[in-house]
């Protein structure tokens, strides 16, 4: 149940030759997302000493790591003083490319040496938009070499476009170039170069360059020969598609190892502390990642520098941070103020890490195990158990664990108990024992043992309540482990399940909304027997009990922070990679969501140009439109679940090209498209009623619900062509009142209510935009769009920016309300007209129809990717509506000039099993300010919501494991203004902490009037939306008070 309370009342991408087979294959692979271009091609062998022209063909590679770089032609050039030395020579064969003749035998430091550069261009392989090119080689100077001299140009690699250097190992920044030493060698190094294209990539064909240009200062370190081998070119299309890892639109503000990470009640992610190269020590800084924008922003500093700390969300909205190391005191982060404040000390201090923190069903926090130092400064593994009580704000000591543990896991079970598994024991051996903490008694009891001792394993509860425990380290059993096992709470025993594809230690396991488990960002063994960061990711399928390898991460990382985002995707941010010794200033998102497009129920009549309005009870009103017989006055209702269609009462007038606007009170205003007389549909009576008239009939206009509940009707096409006239409809009086004219006539334009109450109007003829200011009742100029948009759509994103789409291929752009300017957005590789753009519940935008395949715009990556259905979703002049369960109904429309009666239902793939249940509202209307009281069940991730489904809880994971993970099994409450699409997260009332069945907000106010959908999201799974409306405003209440800042 939703109860809305007010203080006083309740209401609610030169010479050409035919491309080689390898390059043709490369072209095919570039066109699709791939993890790497692994093309086995036999090695060529040739030598050429000409100083220019065709060198020949070949491929550079190595057994087991063959990457074709083409058959040529190779183009050579050299620099130096003529006559001193012959031109250098390039020889390809035996898996190497060797540049020789660089230094005369016995030459001294004062000799000016030649340099050679050799290019390979892939004919007819243009650079692609939003694509990352990663060139990696091993570089052998044949002698000692110093990293200090490398930037001066002794040798290197470059990526070229049309023979022009785009980026080289000399020019790339530190984030896009890696210079690493190869273990056991004083002359061999690893070079890695990255180059990422944006919406408009440089013209010309893709190429690579190998060069050696010794400088006088470095000749004493350089031998006459330089060899390049193990050449690898990885091409990755950065589109957020199912099963893909994609970099976020913005890098983190700071590279960090072992930061503490927590999901906040406003949907943002707190990243705090960690070991930072920038700080040179433990970091005291923190930042926020916003999934709505894909951007990072600073927040307050910690009171103490911490790394490998834990961060646990509390029921009052704050975050509890524990550990450091060397810190016995905790601290709190308040997302409302963006500040950290000191907290209490642990009842049983732990100077070291290796402990776990688990959010319990009652909102308290369980702290188990860890290590400290004894009087001889030796490590001491602890059996301690502490519990933080939010009610008292203090820790209490509980009876000890059955075994001392550090680097273990602690997983909240469906019944509220906690499974504590493995870790190092008191003798620093990998422990196989397990025990159960019972909150009713505050004690632990032994349970079944693992098949093998594991320290640094990962654990996660599955949807059926069992617990997957995988990997870890055991020095006596082959070190890094690839085995996994399942714990069954019903029997208290562990059984083996399928092995992982690689051994893993110190990794993360994330339960996805579809019930599978993502394993990634871990330490795996190298050839020397040590551990290195791995980029291998895999999925565990509980239905088959098997692991399968999936696409690799964009970067190998461990000691990273990972978290399940509210939209069901997984964020990997910062971390460390031992191979190059780098702290990673990067982040990426894994998208597990598999979207679908399926046929829905047929309409009772074929119609194009109809409107779709979602009613308060979830049904969808389809009204008007036309078919071969002309405009129609018929209407029909689609059930809330999109399953059935029934006839509705007829409109007063036949209409097509009209607009339907849902008012704050739930009625639907119909304007234009066949009559100047407007009409209202009343869901309670099911009837249409004629009301006041506009100054003239118009079609292809806009009718926008304003923040005060009135409706702005603007532009369109009348009998004499495009119109500049506008008027405002007042539901209270039922009348239209004229306002100042638009600055230019517009028809087929887009209009969208902005944060702050103004309305953006763009496209529809002129290559301009303008704003309607309700305070002035007039239209004012704003920045012009980058492109002209004939029939665009405009969608307000979570950042408050507006995505404008439609017109020529690649013409998507973003409008910034603060600066009043437009900028190019991610490239939509299609021209569109008469399409629809619908913001999904997770903040992505579904773009369908208009002469192009379906696509998804992702604010996290700032890019477009394909959506389910592809060309099958291509139709125009159809009606689109977001259903209460998060799916999108596409109704009617036309293809090849014929009107359609068919419907399609798009499912974004967030899953329905195990979703939290939100009760229907007690009241449909509310006045401001108000308090949002929600009831239902499954608001906590440990709650069993059916006989077989459980919303899985996140395992804590010992901090000694090196991976930071945090609970996401708590309710995120979000409001969505149906007219503007703006979304607001709601802050919990600290005086009334949420439970599994209840949530109470702080007092809310200053929201735009109109209908709102409210959803509860737990562990990336959203409830079905419930509806209420804000119908009045209290005078003077003009801010979104006590909630999180509105975008």
Question: In whole angstroms, what is the distance from residue 456 CA to residue 508 CA?
Answer: 10
Handedness of CA 168, 93, 37, 529 (dihedral sign): negative
Host H or E run for residue 389 = strand 385-389
Q: Which of 5-14, 246-255, 432-441, 964-973 has the highest mean pLDDT?
A: 432-441
Residue 941: the pLDDT is: 59
Host H or E run for residue 298 = strand 295-298
* Percent of the chain with pLDDT strictly greater than 70: 77
Backbone phi, then psi, for 216, in 5-degree steps?
-55, -40
Residue 827: the pLDDT is: 67
Per CATH, domain 2-10+914-1032 is 3.40.50.300: no
- 946: burial class by Cβ within 10 Å (0-12, 13-18, 19+)? exposed
Where in the chain are all domains bearing CATH 2.60.120?
A: 21-237
Q: Which of 84-88, 96-100, 118-122, 373-377 has the highest mean pLDDT?
A: 373-377
Condensed to tens digits (0 to 9), the pLDDT of residues 975-989 reads 988 888 888 889 888
- Do 671 and 663 touch, CB atoms closer than 8 A? no
Place of tokens 């997984």: 570
- What contacts 22, CB < 8 A, 6 or more positions away? 39, 41, 59, 68, 70, 71
Q: Which residue has the higher pLDDT, 343 or 325?
A: 343
Q: Cα separations (Å) of 467 from 486, 488, 1014?
A: 6, 7, 32
Handedness of CA 435, 437, 441, 443 (dihedral sign): positive
The token pair that represents 465 in the structure block: 């309540």
First vs last Cα of the chain: how many Å apart? 27
Quickly count: other Cβ atoms within 10 Å of residue 377's Cβ.
Answer: 7
Backbone phi, then psi, for 960, in 5-degree steps?
-70, -15
- The model's confidence at residue 102, banded by pLDDT at 50, 70 and 90, is low
Phi-psi category of 178—alpha, beta or left, where left has phi over 0 and alpha has psi -120 to 50?
Answer: beta
Question: In whole angstroms, what is the distance from residue 956 CA to residue 967 CA?
Answer: 7
Mean of all residue pLDDT scores within the chain = 79
Q: Which residue has the higher pLDDT, 531 or 903?
A: 903
Average pLDDT over residues 891-899: 90
Question: In whole angstroms, what is the distance from residue 300 CA to residue 273 CA?
Answer: 11
Condensed to tens digits (0 to 9), the pLDDT of residues 467-526 reads 999 999 998 777 889 999 999 999 999 999 999 999 998 888 888 888 899 999 888 877
Q: In residues, how long is the chain? A: 1047
Question: In whole angstroms, what is the distance from residue 307 CA to residue 323 CA?
Answer: 8
Residue 590's nearest CA partner among 557, 543, 617 is: 557
Report the Cα 264 to chain-centroid distance in Å.
16
Quickly count: other Cβ atoms within 10 Å of residue 39's Cβ.
Answer: 18
Q: Cα separations (Å) of 285 from 87, 276, 301, 356, 836?
A: 54, 9, 5, 23, 42
Quickly count: other Cβ atoms within 10 Å of residue 611's Cβ.
Answer: 25
Question: In whole angstroms, what is the distance from residue 27 CA to residue 40 CA?
Answer: 15
Host H or E run for residue 21 = helix 21-30
**What is the SS3 assignment for 983?**
strand
- The model's confidence at residue 940, banded by pLDDT at 50, 70 and 90, is confident
Bond prior to 929 in cis (omega within 30° of 0): yes
Average pLDDT over residues 907-921: 80
Backbone phi, then psi, for 60, in 5-degree steps?
-110, 130
**Regarding the domain delimited by 21-237, which CATH topology (the fold level of the hierarchy) does it fall under?**
Jelly Rolls (2.60.120)
- What contacts 52, CB < 8 A, 6 or more positions away? 75, 76, 77
Question: In whole angstroms, what is the distance from residue 607 CA to residue 657 CA?
Answer: 12
Where in the chain are all domains bearing CATH 2.60.40.10?
A: 2-10+914-1032
Question: In whole angstroms, what is the distance from residue 476 CA to residue 687 CA?
Answer: 77
Average pLDDT over residues 613-618: 90
Report the Cα 67 to chain-centroid distance in Å.
30
Give all strands of the β-sheet with 735-739 in edge-to-edge order. Answer: 702-705, 711-714, 726-730, 735-739
- Do 418 and 441 touch, CB atoms closer than 8 A? no
- The model's confidence at residue 22, banded by pLDDT at 50, 70 and 90, is very low
Condensed to tens digits (0 to 9), the pLDDT of residues 808-856 reads 666 889 999 999 999 888 766 677 888 899 998 888 899 998 888 888 8
The token pair that represents 525 in the structure block: 């063994």
Where in the chain are all domains bearing CATH 2.120.10.80?
A: 244-591
Question: In whole angstroms, what is the distance from residue 807 CA to residue 828 CA?
Answer: 10
**What is the SS3 assignment for 898?**
strand
Phi-psi category of 9—alpha, beta or left, where left has phi over 0 and alpha has psi -120 to 50?
Answer: beta
Phi-psi category of 886—alpha, beta or left, where left has phi over 0 and alpha has psi -120 to 50?
Answer: left
Question: In whole angstroms, what is the distance from residue 232 CA to residue 237 CA?
Answer: 16
Residue 25: the pLDDT is: 27
Question: In whole angstroms, what is the distance from residue 508 CA to residue 552 CA?
Answer: 15
**pTM, two decimal places:** 0.79
- Do 533 and 523 touch, CB atoms closer than 8 A? yes
- Do 262 and 269 touch, CB atoms closer than 8 A? yes
Average pLDDT over residues 79-89: 53
Condensed to tens digits (0 to 9), the pLDDT of residues 757-811 reads 999 999 998 889 999 999 999 999 999 998 888 889 999 998 889 999 987 666 8
Question: In whole angstroms, what is the distance from residue 482 CA to residue 460 CA?
Answer: 16
Question: In whole angstroms, what is the distance from residue 694 CA to residue 671 CA?
Answer: 8
Report strand pairing: 717-718 vs 721-722. Answer: antiparallel
User: Cα Rg for the chain, rounded, in angstroms?
Assistant: 31
- The model's confidence at residue 281, banded by pLDDT at 50, 70 and 90, is low
Answer whether residue 84 shows pLDDT above 80.
Answer: no
Host H or E run for residue 434 = strand 434-438
Residue 65: the pLDDT is: 28
- Do 741 and 713 touch, CB atoms closer than 8 A? no
DSSP letter for each residue of 639-690? -TTS--EEEEPPPSS-BSS-EEEE-TTS-EEEE-SS-SEEEEEETTTTEEEE
- 524: burial class by Cβ within 10 Å (0-12, 13-18, 19+)? buried
Average pLDDT over residues 128-145: 70
- Do 598 and 890 touch, CB atoms closer than 8 A? no
Average pLDDT over residues 897-919: 86
List beta partners, residue 89. 100
Answer whether residue 108 shows pLDDT above 80.
Answer: no
Answer whether residue 43 shows pLDDT above 60.
Answer: no
Answer whether residue 399 shows pLDDT above 70.
Answer: yes
SS3 breakdown of the chain: % helix, strand, coil, rounded to 5? 5, 40, 55
Question: In whole angstroms, what is the distance from residue 671 CA to residue 978 CA?
Answer: 19
Report strand pairing: 115-126 vs 836-839. Answer: unpaired
Report strand pairing: 561-564 vs 570-573. Answer: antiparallel
Condensed to tens digits (0 to 9), the pLDDT of residues 522-547 reads 888 776 667 788 888 999 999 999 99
| CATH of 244-591 given 3.40.309.10, 1.10.3210.10, 2.120.10.80, 2.60.40.1730 | 2.120.10.80
- Do 854 and 868 touch, CB atoms closer than 8 A? yes
Average pLDDT over residues 1014-1027: 88
Residue 626: the pLDDT is: 94
The token pair that represents 5 in the structure block: 């309370």
Question: In whole angstroms, what is the distance from residue 10 CA to residue 347 CA?
Answer: 45
List beta partners, residue 420. 410, 435
Backbone phi, then psi, for 25, in 5-degree steps?
-65, -35
Place of tokens 């980026």: 167
Answer whether residue 333 shows pLDDT above 90.
Answer: yes
Question: In whole angstroms, what is the distance from residue 851 CA to residue 806 CA?
Answer: 11
Residue 217: the pLDDT is: 38
Average pLDDT over residues 640-653: 93
- 42: burial class by Cβ within 10 Å (0-12, 13-18, 19+)? exposed
Residue 1008's nearest CA partner among 1029, 1035, 1026, 987 is: 1029
Question: In whole angstroms, what is the distance from residue 878 CA to residue 865 CA?
Answer: 22
Contacts 24+ apart (CB under 8 A), 686-689: 686/648, 686/649, 687/649, 688/635, 688/649, 688/650, 688/651, 688/652, 689/652
């Amino acid at each position: 149940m939703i109860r809305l309370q007010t203080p006083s009342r309740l209401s609610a991408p030169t010479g050409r030759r035919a491309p080689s087979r390898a390059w043709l294959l490369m072209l095919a692979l570039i066109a699709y997302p791939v993890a790497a271009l692994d093309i086995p091609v036999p090695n060529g062998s040739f030598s050429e000493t000409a100083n220019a022209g065709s060198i020949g063909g070949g491929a550079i590679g190595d057994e087991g790591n063959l990457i074709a770089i083409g058959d040529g032609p190779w183009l050579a050039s050299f620099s130096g003083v003529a006559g001193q030395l012959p031109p250098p020579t390039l020889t390809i064969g035996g898996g190497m490319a060797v540049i020789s003749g660089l230094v005369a035998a016995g030459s001294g430091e004062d000799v000016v040496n030649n340099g050679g550069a050799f290019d390979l261009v892939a004919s007819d392989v243009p650079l692609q938009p939003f694509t990352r090119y990663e060139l990696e080689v091993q570089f052998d100077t044949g002698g000692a070499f110093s990293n200090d001299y490398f930037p001066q140009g002794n040798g290197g690699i470059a990526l070229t476009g049309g023979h022009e250097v785009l980026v080289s190992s000399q020019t790339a920044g530190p984030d896009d170039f890696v210079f690493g030493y190869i273990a056991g060698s004083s002359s061999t190094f690893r070079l890695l170069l990255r180059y990422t294209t944006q919406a408009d990539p440089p013209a010309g064909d893709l190429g690579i360059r190998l060069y050696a240009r010794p400088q006088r200062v470095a000749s004493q370190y350089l031998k006459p020969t330089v060899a390049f081998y193990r050449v690898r070119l990885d091409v990755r299309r950065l589109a957020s598609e199912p099963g893909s890892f994609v970099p976020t639109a913005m890098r983190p503000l700071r590279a960090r190892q072992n930061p503490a990470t927590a999901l906040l009640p406003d949907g943002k992610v707190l990243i705090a502390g960690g070991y930072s190269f920038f700080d040179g020590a433990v970091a005291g800084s923190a930042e926020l990642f916003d999934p709505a924008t894909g951007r990072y922003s600073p927040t307050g500093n910690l009171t103490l520098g911490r790394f490998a700390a834990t961060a646990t969300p509390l029921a009052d909205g704050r975050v509890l941070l524990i550990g450091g190391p060397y810190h016995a005191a905790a601290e709190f982060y308040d997302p409302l103020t963006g500040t950290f404040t000191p907290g209490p000390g642990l009842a049983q201090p732990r100077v070291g890490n290796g402990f776990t923190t688990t959010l319990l069903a009652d909102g308290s926090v369980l702290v188990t195990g860890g290590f400290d130092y004894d009087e001889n400064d030796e490590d001491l593994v602890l059996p301690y158990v502490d519990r933080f009580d939010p009610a008292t704000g203090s820790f209490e000591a509980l009876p000890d664990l059955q075994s001392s543990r550090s680097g273990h896991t602690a997983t909240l079970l469906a019944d509220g108990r906690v499974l504590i598994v493995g870790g190092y024991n008191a003798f620093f051996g990998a422990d196989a024992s397990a025990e159960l903490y019972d909150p009713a008694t505050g004690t632990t009891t032994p349970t079944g043992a693992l098949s093998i001792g594991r320290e640094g394993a990962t654990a996660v509860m599955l949807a059926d309540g069992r617990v997957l425990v995988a990997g870890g380290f055991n020095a006596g059993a082959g070190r890094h482990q690839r085995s996994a096992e399942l714990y069954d709470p019903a029997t208290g025993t562990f059984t083996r399940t399928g092995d992982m594809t690689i051994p893993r230690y110190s990794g993360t396991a994330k339960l996805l909304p579809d019930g599978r488990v993502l394993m990634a960002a871990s330490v795996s063994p190298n050839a020397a027997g040590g551990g290195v960061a791995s980029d291998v990711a895999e999925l565990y399928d509980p239905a088959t009990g098997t692991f399968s390898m999936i696409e690799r991460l964009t970067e190998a990382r461990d000691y990273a922070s990972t978290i399940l985002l509210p939209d069901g995707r997984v964020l990997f941010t910062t971390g460390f990679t031992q191979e190059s010794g780098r702290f990673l200033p990067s982040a990426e998102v894994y998208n597990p969501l598999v979207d679908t497009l399926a046929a829905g129920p047929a309409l009772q009549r074929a119609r194009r140009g109809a409107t779709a309005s979602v009613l308060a009870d979830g049904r969808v009103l389809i009204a008007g439109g036309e078919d071969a017989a002309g405009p129609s006055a018929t209407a029909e209702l689609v059930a809330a679940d999109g399953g059935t269609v029934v006839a509705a009462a007829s409109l007063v007038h036949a209409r097509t090209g009209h607009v339907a606007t849902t008012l704050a009170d739930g009625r639907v205003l119909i304007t234009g498209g066949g009559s100047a007389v407007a009409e209202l549909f009343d869901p309670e009576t099911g009837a249409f009623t004629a009301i006041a008239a506009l100054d003239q009939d118009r079609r292809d206009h806009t009718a926008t619900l304003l923040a005060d509940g009135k409706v702005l009707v603007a532009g369109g096409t009348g009998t004499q062509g495009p119109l500049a006239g506008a008027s405002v409809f007042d539901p209270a009086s039922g009348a239209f009142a004229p306002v100042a004219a638009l600055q230019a006539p517009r028809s087929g334009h887009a209009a969208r209510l902005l944060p702050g109450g103004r309305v953006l109007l763009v496209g529809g003829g002129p290559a301009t935009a303008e704003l309607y200011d309700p305070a002035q009742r007039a239209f004012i100029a704003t920045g012009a769009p980058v492109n002209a948009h004939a029939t665009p759509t405009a969608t307000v994103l979570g950042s408050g920016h507006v995505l404008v789409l439609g017109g020529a291929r690649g013409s998507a752009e973003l409008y910034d309300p603060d600066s009043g300017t437009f900028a190019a957005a991610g490239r939509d590789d299609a021209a569109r007209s008469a399409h629809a753009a619908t913001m999904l519940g997770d903040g992505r935008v579904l773009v369908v129809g208009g002469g192009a395949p379906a696509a998804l715009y992702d604010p996290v990556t700032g890019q477009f990717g394909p959506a389910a259905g592809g060309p099958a979703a291509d139709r125009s002049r159809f009606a689109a509506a977001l259903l209460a369960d998060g799916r999108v109904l596409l109704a009617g429309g036309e293809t090849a000039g014929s009107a359609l009666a068919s419907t399609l239902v798009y499912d974004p793939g967030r899953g329905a099993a195990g979703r939290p249940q939100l009760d229907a509202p007690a009241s449909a209307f509310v006045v401001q300010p108000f308090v949002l009281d929600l009831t239902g069940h499954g608001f906590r991730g440990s709650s069993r919501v059916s006989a077989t489904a459980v919303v899985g809880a996140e395992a804590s994971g010992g901090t000694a494991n090196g991976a930071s993970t945090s609970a996401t099994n708590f309710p995120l409450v979000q409001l969505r203004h149906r007219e503007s699409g703006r979304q607001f997260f709601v802050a919990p009332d600290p005086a009334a902490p949420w439970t599994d069945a209840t949530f109470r907000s702080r007092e809310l106010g200053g929201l735009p009037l109109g209908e709102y959908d409210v959803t509860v999201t737990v562990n990336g799974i959203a409830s079905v939306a419930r509806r209420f409306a804000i119908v009045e405003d209290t005078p003077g209440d003009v801010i979104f008070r006590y909630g999180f800042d509105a975008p």
